[in-house]
Amino acid sequence: MKKVAVFMTVGTGMREDRKKGMKDQAHGISYFINEIKPDKIVFFVSKESKETINYVEGINENDYEIVLLNDINNITEISREIFNKVLEYEKMGYEIKMNYTFGTKTMTTAISFISVLKKKDLYLVGGQRGKDGTPVPGTEEVKKQSLHVIYDIFLLDKVKELFNSYNFSEALNSLNNIVIFDNLQTGHSREDYENLIKGYTEWDKFNHKEAIKYLENNSLIPKQQGYRIKRLIYLADKDAKEEIKEYHAHLLSDLINNAKRRIEEGKYDDAVARLYRVIEFIAQSKLFIKHDINTSDVDILLLPGELQEKYKKMEENGKIRLGLKKSYELLRDMNEEIGKRFFENEEIQKILSMRNNSILAHGFGPVTKEQAEKFFEITKEFLTTEIKETEQFMEELKFIKL
């Protein structure tokens, strides 16, 4: 069983008779100590209130420690003193209980704040109040304060912060730690938040069909932003072959948005890998939609006669597979404007070389923030020349913020 330490701020009382004020406070302190029966007491005192300890009954010098607060009007300094003492007693294995009944407003505010911050039980000695606001001797009673709502408010703020930074797994963990969600009176249910987090988790992994199950009727997505769900439905409906061009346009915008989120997270190598995939997919999409050519297994008969011999030579293990540059080379050979633009764009050639030096590709060098951001802007510009609605789709496929 853990030893118990009680932390208390101590005042002098506000009576005209200073000595009687101290005795009254000491009576309340003694009452609390007798009720809790701690193994150790830590008194936080001012120069003036230190004398109050002399009137506390039932303790000896080995039972307590006195921490002198030099500036009782400085909440930062008082909070730091209490916080450091909490860390010290935690290391010694104590269970810490706190009392905020006595002392100046600054002192009681500080100890209350630390109790919430460190999730310590917080107590008040109640009873009939005298002129100085302290309990009248003989009327005292110990009241444990319920801090669950405060903890839950902090946790919900943490959920939102984690969600907004795309840390969905930790957001879900924090949500699950909220004790009584209904007390928060958010206008939404725990299930709404849970489904929102799960939906965006799936969306971030390109599992669009799963995402739509969680998000389609979620009250946390404002009705005026319903267009986000409409765009997501395009991504989820991969079987709509008659809308394949529209689907590819949405998928490319979603992919480049994903890269942008990775940049925001500081995952620059991941971002560059996704941007490389955007450039590659632009070529694959063009060849598939306009010419029905699958770059992972090119049907030689779909190529113009004069190109068949050239690409036949690329066959390996019975299949012709085209990587990024070969896909654009085929587009150029077929007189597609985008193929020409790709090879004439020196900036793209430079960023592709940078990607190849990335540790996630063929090299060992990390990608910097500046490099990733430049790669993003060049890729976005290149995509926009092919799909004019890119900016619109990116905006409408952007993840919401709570």
Q: What DSSP line would sit under 34-49, residue for residue?
A: HHH--SEEEEEE-TTG
Contacts of 18 (CB under 8 A, 6+ apart): 12
Q: What is residue 239's predicted lDDT score, i.e. its pLDDT?
A: 58
Task: Judge contact between 5 and 39, C-beta under 8 A.
Answer: yes
Indicate the fold that domain 4-145 takes in CATH: Rossmann fold (3.40.50)
Q: What is the per-residue pLDDT for 25?
A: 83
Task: Give the pLDDT confidence of 97-109 residue by residue, as tens digits.
Answer: 999 998 889 999 9
How long a stretch of residues is the chain?
402
Beta carbons within 8 Å of 176's beta carbon, 6+ residues apart: none
Question: Can you give the pLDDT at residue 367?
Answer: 83
pLDDT of residue 74: 94
Q: What is the pLDDT of residues 111-128, one digit of tens each?
A: 999 999 898 999 998 767
Question: How far is Cα 211 from Cα 217, in angstroms, rounded to an integer?
Answer: 11
Exposure pattern of 113-127 as b/e (b: 16+ CB <10 Å)? bbbbeeebbbbbbeb
Q: 236-268, pLDDT tens digit by residue?
A: 766 554 567 888 888 999 999 999 999 999 999
Whole-angstrom distance, CA of residue 193 vs CA of residue 255:
24
**H or E element: which one contains 251?**
helix 244-265
Question: What one-character-per-residue DSSP string does 321-379 give?
Answer: ---HHHHHHHHHHTT-HHHHHHHH-HHHHHHHHHHHTBTTTT--BPPPHHHHHHHHHHH
Q: What is the CA radius of gyration of the chain?
A: 33
The pLDDT value given to residue 293:
92
- CA-CA distances (angstroms) from residue 71 to 11, 75, 81, 315? 13, 9, 11, 81
- Distance between CA 83 and CA 20 in Å, rounded? 31
- Cα 100 to its chain centre, rounded Å, is 32
Residues 6+ apart with CB under 8 A from 368: 268
CA–CA distance, 58 with 55 (Å, rounded to integer): 10
Domain map of the chain by residue range?
A: 4-145, 221-396
Q: Which residues pair with 66 in a beta bridge?
A: 43
Dig out the tokens for 91 from the structure. Answer: 């290391």
Q: What is the DSSP letter of 143?
A: E
Please list the rounded mean pLDDT of every run of 10 residues in the chain (402 residues).
Answer: 92 71 84 92 92 86 90 93 96 95 92 92 80 64 83 91 97 90 83 95 93 89 74 68 76 95 95 93 92 91 90 88 92 94 89 65 70 94 93 92 92
